[in-house]
Structure 1
Amino acid sequence: MIDIHSHILPGVDDGAQTIEQSIEMAKAAVNDGITKIVASPHHQTSKYYNEKSIVVEKVQELNEVLQAEGIPLEVLTGQEVRLFGEWVIEYENNQIATVNEKNYCLIEFPANHVPSYAERLFYDIQMKGITPIIVHPERNSQIVEQPDKLFQLIDKGAISQVTASSLTGDFGKKIQKFSLQLFEANLAHVIASDAHNITTRRFKLADSYEIIGDHFGTEMVYMLKENAELIIEGKMIYREHPEKIKKKRLLGIF
């Protein structure tokens, strides 16, 4: 399996703090069936700034350590970029790390809303040949209340990534239910761990695929796994036409 979103790099954000913790996470990833993992430290938040050059250097160092330890896991370059107005300028200045240095980028919204300029900025990002991947939309309170916000962005070319632990219920039944609704409405296209450690924010990728299989069948599982591979290869993913989540289908979440 391929994991396109993790916080495995040591000492750069709220993920692994030491190289020892990175090694522990790498072993846990392998035990979960992961062979390739994108290191996607937070960038452009109020606390963390990890421009591309930092990420590339840290990824190389971690790969060397894992090879020396005999851990069969390949770490790839990435970033979890908090959406900000100067994204295109930073990209042009080679400060944005796309997924595996191809043509997808992980984009994070604030937890409680979708920025008003998101649609326009996503257009500008796509004009640069980059597809925005909206990370964990199921944990954004405005998207949960107003799923049309996500629909509009997906309908115009963005894709989204649901967190494995959301599907397994670690963030609560409300988020779990909404996550499944996103897949049902073709508003989610890939699963990733967003793992930060091996205790409270674990991988759970294999478990999440089992849940998807139980609800939607093995064909959906294969498609989602292949989408992760297509993303790191910079190729077009499989996606169905998005549908709106009707308000009545949200009743009972809260």
Structure 2
Amino acid sequence: MIDLHCHILPGIDDGAKTLEDSLDLARAAEADGIHTIVATPHHRNGAFDNDGNAIPQLVEDLNSHIKEHEIDVTVLPGQENRLTGELVDELKQGTAIPVHKSRYVLVEFPSVQVPHYANRLFFDLQVEGYMPIIVHPERNKTFAEHPNKLYELLQAGALTQVTADSFTKKVPKKTRQCAELLLDHHMVHVIASDAHDVNRRTFDLSTAYQSIQAKRGEEEVFYLMENAERIIDNETIYPEPPQQVKKKKFLGIF
């Protein structure tokens, strides 16, 4: 499996604190069946600013340690970029970076609102050749209460990445129900761990895929896994058209 969202680099955000923590995460990923991890440190989220120019070398260093410890996992460079008006310029400068030198950019929204400039920024990103992937939309209060705001962004070409935990029982029921609602309406394109440590926020990709397969079959799992591979390889994703959510379907959840 491929994990597109993980805070495995040591000591630069709220993920792994030490090299040993990073190695523990790599071991846990291998045990879960993950062979490739994209390191996605926070950038511009109000607590952490991680210059994208420095990340490839940090990834190379970590891969050397992983190899020394005979862990069968490869780490690739990436970033979890907070939505800001400067994102396009930062991508051009290299202070913000996409997933593994691809066109795909992980974009994190604030936890409560959807900034008014999001539509315009996403348009500008796509004009510059980038494809925005909205990370964990099920954890955004506005998207949860008004899922058709997310639908509008997807109609305009954006993609989403939902957290694996949101398909398990490790999250609040409403978050899980929101993830299921988005999946039902073709508004989920890839899932990833967003792992920070080996205890509280770890890898649950295999469990999430099992849950999705039990409810929606192997074809849905294959679609999600293939999208992750296509992102890594910078290939085009062909998403199913998103569906609007009828009001009665989400009033009972939120």
Structure 1 and Structure 2 fold alike (TM over 0.5): yes
- Give the Cα–Cα distance (whole angstroms) in 1 for the partners of residues 169 and 129 of structure 2: 35
- Give the Cα–Cα distance (whole angstroms) in 2 for the partners of residues 199 and 182 of structure 1: 27
Matching residue of 1:232: 232
Contact 1:169 1:175 in 2 (8 A): no
- Give the Cα–Cα distance (whole angstroms) in 2 for the partners of residues 29 and 173 of structure 1: 25
Residue 238 (structure 1) shift: 3.3
1:155 aligns with 2:137: no
- Give the Cα–Cα distance (whole angstroms) in 1 for the partners of residues 237 and 170 of structure 2: 27
**CA offsets, 1:133-170, max 9 Å, x none?**
00000000010111111001000000000000111131
Matching residue of 1:252: 252
Residue 251 (structure 1) shift: 3.0
**CA offsets, 1:193-235, max 9 Å, x none?**
0000011001100000011111111100011001000001111
Which amino acid is the alignment partner of residue 82 of structure 1? R
Percent identity over the alignment? Answer: 47
Matching residue of 1:114: 114
- Give the Cα–Cα distance (whole angstroms) in 2 for the partners of residues 33 and 245 of structure 1: 34
Matching residue of 2:63: 63
- Give the Cα–Cα distance (whole angstroms) in 2 for the partners of residues 231 and 160 of structure 1: 12
Matching residue of 1:104: 104
Matching residue of 1:22: 22
Does 167-176 or 118-127 show the bigger shift? 167-176
Secondary structure, aligned partner of 1:101: coil
Runs of 4 or more, structure 1, over 6 Å off, are: none
Which amino acid is the alignment partner of residue 43 of structure 2? H
Q: State the superposition RMSD in angstroms.
A: 0.8
**CA offsets, 1:21-41, max 9 Å, x none?**
000000000000000000000
Secondary structure, aligned partner of 2:100: helix
In structure 2, runs of 5+ residues without a counterpart are none
In structure 1, runs of 5+ residues without a counterpart are none
Secondary structure, aligned partner of 1:100: coil
Residue 178 (structure 1) shift: 1.0
Matching residue of 2:185: 185
**CA offsets, 1:107-137, max 9 Å, x none?**
0000001111000000000111110000000
- Give the Cα–Cα distance (whole angstroms) in 1 for the partners of residues 9 and 112 of structure 2: 26
- Give the Cα–Cα distance (whole angstroms) in 2 for the partners of residues 91 and 174 of structure 1: 34
Secondary structure, aligned partner of 1:230: helix
Contact 1:7 1:196 in 2 (8 A): yes
- Give the Cα–Cα distance (whole angstroms) in 1 for the partners of residues 8 and 41 of structure 2: 8
**CA offsets, 1:36-81, max 9 Å, x none?**
0000000011110111122112101100100111111000010000
- Give the Cα–Cα distance (whole angstroms) in 2 for the partners of residues 184 and 51 of structure 1: 37
- Give the Cα–Cα distance (whole angstroms) in 1 for the partners of residues 85 and 253 of structure 2: 33
Contact 1:36 1:74 in 2 (8 A): yes
Which amino acid is the alignment partner of residue 48 of structure 1? F
Structure 1 residues 104 and 119, CA gap change in structure 2 (3 angstroms): same
Count of residue correspondences:
254
When normalised by structure 2's length, the TM-score is: 0.98
- Give the Cα–Cα distance (whole angstroms) in 2 for the partners of residues 197 and 245 of structure 1: 34
1:32 aligns with 2:17: no
Matching residue of 2:218: 218
- Give the Cα–Cα distance (whole angstroms) in 1 for the partners of residues 11 and 226 of structure 2: 31
When normalised by structure 1's length, the TM-score is: 0.98
- Give the Cα–Cα distance (whole angstroms) in 1 for the partners of residues 187 and 216 of structure 2: 14
Secondary structure, aligned partner of 2:133: strand
- Give the Cα–Cα distance (whole angstroms) in 2 for the partners of residues 155 and 217 of structure 1: 25
Aligned ranges 1:67-106 → 2 under 5 Å: 67-106=67-106
Residue 252 (structure 1) shift: 2.6
Contact 1:35 1:74 in 2 (8 A): yes
Which amino acid is the alignment partner of residue 189 of structure 1? H
